[in-house]
Structure 1
């Protein structure tokens, strides 16, 4: 039997945003995530030695990014992509996640603000993510300084971008040491609206509503990200549909038991393993989508996130 929903998280769910796509607009989604982040302003953020706002190359011009660093010695470098359904989220809403990643892995973390739909639909976010990774990799001496300990990470839609970027890096000859995919979107064929495609992943029905992220909200996100629904079968949108996953960087994949995305994340972990990729899968018992951002309140969430980051740290330390 799976662990029951963490009672602390059960009390938090009614306070979380993005749960009603019938009234949500792109701006209201962005505002609500910002407001959630700002509501924790009285809680000091995890301390890092260096925080610096910079620019990195994107698919169509410079992008805002933020660097987090512990100390000044040679270190791994990780490019991080925030979640928010591609539409919402930014480097401010995910500041604490980036800080924890830097603290617990010792890596220099570069958090990237990619372009968002509906202003810039697919492939804008993917092109920005890949361009940013190439730019940071080419300038790694300015960051961690060790090209052999270079990785990508992201949560939710950011996990989708990290997974797709890892495939693009393989194809471009950029050797990554590791990828951290936190409850990633991996297969959006059907855009969460098609009953046949949803049936492939039982968690889309089991966790369709009631646990913060809903299937209807995912349908809303996809409707904004994909100007053409046919794009859903492209591996840059659905990395589970990639022709081959062989030769990809070792991966840490986390899922959450009470998450509509649970089964597609688990399917991606299995597909990576079948392709010969080293994988550590954390199933997130008792947890919901977004739990990496709930560690200040939930010990269950904090412990699970720390385990995943520890595994990611170990993979980075091994080097490419």
Structure 2
């Protein structure tokens, strides 16, 4: 959509509202009318200031795309989000102008809605100014400015002091596909409820059930939800995030996922002992090389993996493979009447996401089952050790060892491994690339291709326009991203041997007992939260959270904003430890910084990311690096989805399409034909991200079209 028409429509609609709200000059304004009038005037001011800024970005942001056919970068994303916010404002403002005098008009509710989006627009204006500073400090086409600790420090401090609660309350997820907003609200409310009960002496089901008692206030009060979410994301430690993300490992949750996802005949975990492997050299198969087991931090140790296969294939029920599994009874019963298909010529080796600090293959089973069925190949997912207990290079060593073991023992996995594809998301995408680089440097066979979904290719706090989205992203705030990167780089290293996870059922009895003992107190807190919301917030803080940070207003502003403008400031300052370790510049940590000689040996790399992902610029710039070295690379940018969309594949048609795009790239690597039935039923799908806003047939759309028509007629 033409951004000029959006700005003009917002200006006119604000004028319409002012004429309706102000009424006759002699009549006094009600308190709600005064608030709405203030909002409309502030929105007009922001719109007039943002129009030229958006025009400037629109004129040049094509220079930062991977190529003319693959449009997508952080500058485009910021412009799209600003226009999306304006369209929400336009829709709400038109409703207010039409219904303000109505008997059923909810004045307080609509005033709060307009104030929330006005605050969001204020912060987006500041983000565009920060993006302009990045563009000014960078060379044309470069999304990351030259490495500058001082520049990065200024942006991190500015992020720490900026108000973010407005993006987590009434405006939560406005930039994403509408079908995902209920899910995002559920995640945010669950996180805050979990935060209040975090630290209690219970786990799993009991803790989740107790959290339900505190969630009601966050459903009823979006403002409290935004403030509390900002506080939690600013200051809680890494162990909280690990604990919360690992709730997806809960037996009940994974059980529901398994029932909802594709059923497979093979799905079990096994453990490979730490034995030295012998593999043929890629350059001369008559020679071989030794691959030692992972040894970093605590010496040789086993590697855990999960095998998923839609069909039972030869070798998958062999005594040799089943001996590596500790499951009782055997995970694949050896029944004579069960048909065993021949070994597949293809194999997918998968590395899961989770910021290097959380989750296992169990959390990602839903889409792995779908991959196995629709691709018709076995999938081997590696459960590598997690940071901060196991920082770099432990995870890389384990994933590389698992890859080499799979090449040597493919017959046990139901494959001949004629074609091997590495696939992973987020942190797993990073590991796909670095495992391939390690194969190059070691001399063993390189995989036939890589499918990396929204990978992290620069494990550093360097700023870019897309990383500014961490200011508004409910799934990947900058504080969380920084903690994960620090943990993997070893900044928060904690010496500890790997521990086996206890089963959900074994903890059920203890959880139930503790749940009953805390039920009365939890219910009391929940009821009191409606009577006095601030009481609940204060009373549930743990001692480690009680110390109030210095007021944000006291922090020195290191960014020069336009005269008369200042972003809203937060009451909570983030405590973000910037990465200073040289580890982050290691090419096996940050493949974006790898030398050309190492990148030239990579197989075809297929990247699938989202236009609203804070790590979008990592993917664009890595694609540029590969193009510059002559390496085959493709970049698919899907619109309107958050980071981690693979795990959301069953929530909306948009996430389904994004998952299908990932499978299409894997088919290219494995040289598999597209299923005819799927191609006919789905039809052509465009995965190209553009700056245009898709507006559904709604009052807002009709209003904009009407206004544009009036201008054309005039």
Which has a greater percent of helix? 2
Pair 1:256–1:179, CA change in 2 (3 A): same
* Unaligned segments of structure 2, at least 5 residues: 2-76, 81-174, 192-228, 275-292, 295-299, 314-341, 492-580, 673-714
Over 3 Å counting, the alpha-carbon distance change for 1:182 and 1:21 in structure 2 is farther
Residue in 2 that maps onto 1:217:
480
Following TM superposition, the consecutive aligned residue runs of length 4 or more in structure 1 with deviations greater than 4 angstroms are 1-4
Q: 1:211, CA displacement in angstroms? A: 4.1
Q: C-alpha deviations, 1:139-197, integer Å up to 9, x for none?
A: 122224333311211111111111111111223231311111011000123xx2xxxx2
Partner of 1:74: 343
Q: 2-side partners of 1:281 and 1:139: how far apart?
A: 32
Q: Equivalent residue for 1:284?
A: 638
Report which stretch shifted further, 206-215 or 103-112. Answer: 206-215
Matches within 5 A, 1:156-175: 156-171=426-441, 172-175=443-446
Q: CA deviation at 1:261?
A: 0.6
Whole-angstrom CA distance in 2 between matches of 1:21 and 1:287? 23
**Structure 1 position 37, deviation (Å):** 5.3
Q: Work out whether 1:139 is the aligned partner of 2:352.
A: no
- The 8 Å contact of residues 471 and 477 in structure 2, kept in 1 or not, is answered as yes
CA distance in 1, matches of 2:625, 2:666: 19
Matches within 5 A, 1:1-320: 5-16=176-187, 20=233, 22-26=235-239, 28-36=240-248, 38=250, 39=253, 41-43=255-257, 44=259, 45-56=261-272, 59=294, 60-71=300-311, 72=313, 73-75=342-344, 76-171=346-441, 172-189=443-460, 192=461, 197-198=462-463, 201-227=464-490, 229-244=581-596, 245-317=599-671
Deviation at 1:231, TM superposition (A): 0.2
C-alpha distance in structure 1 between counterparts of 2:352 and 2:389, whole Å: 18
Deviations 1:16-74 (A, max 9, x none): 37782521433x33332232454463351321221122123551321221101132233
* Cα distance per residue 1:222-270 (max 9 Å; x no partner): 1111125210001111011111211311122011111111110121122
Separation in structure 2 between the aligned mates of residue 178 and residue 242 of structure 1, nearest angstrom? 18
**CA shift at 1:300, angstroms?**
0.1
* Count of residues paired in the alignment: 309
Report the CA distance shift for 1:52/1:37 in structure 2 as closer, same or farther (over 3 A): closer
Q: Which has the larger radius of gyration?
A: 2
Greater Cα offset, 125-134 or 39-48: 39-48
Shift of 1:127: 1.0
**More divergent stretch after superposition (155-164 vs 55-64):** 55-64
Structure 1 length as normaliser, TM-score?
A: 0.89
SS in structure 2 opposite 1:68? strand
3-state SS, counterpart of residue 187 of structure 1: coil
Mapped to 2, the partners of 1:42 and 1:175 lie a distance apart of: 37
> Whole-Å Cα distance in 1 between the matches of residues 401 and 177 of structure 2?
39
Secondary structure of 1:175's aligned partner:
coil
**C-alpha distance in 2, partners of 1:30/1:100?**
26
Instruction: Rate the CA distance shift 1:278–1:154 in 2: closer, same or farther, 3 A.
Output: same
What do the CA deviations read for 1:80-131 (whole angstroms, capped 9, x no partner)? 1111111111121112132222223222111111111111111111111111
Structure 2 Cα separation of the partners of residues 164 and 118 of structure 1: 19
Contact 1:155 1:183 in 2 (8 A): yes
Q: Distance in 2 between matches of 1:31 and 1:188?
A: 22
Give the Cα separation in 2 of the matches to 1:70 and 1:36.
23
Q: Is the 8 A contact 2:263 2:310 kept in 1?
A: no
Check whether the contact 1:21–1:220 (CA below 8 A) recurs between aligned residues: no
* Contact residue 352 and residue 425 of structure 2 kept, 8 A: yes
Moved more, 142-151 or 303-312: 142-151
- Deviation track 1:287-318 (CA, whole Å, cap 9, x = no partner) reads 11010011111110111111221221221127
Give the Cα separation in 2 of the matches to 1:14 and 1:266: 29
Relative to structure 1, the CA distance from residue 6 to residue 146 in structure 2 (aligned partners, 3 Å threshold; closer, same or farther) is: same
Judged with a 3 Å threshold, the aligned counterparts in structure 2 of structure 1 residues 53 and 41 are, in CA distance, closer, same or farther, namely closer
- State the secondary structure of the residue aligned to 2:354: coil
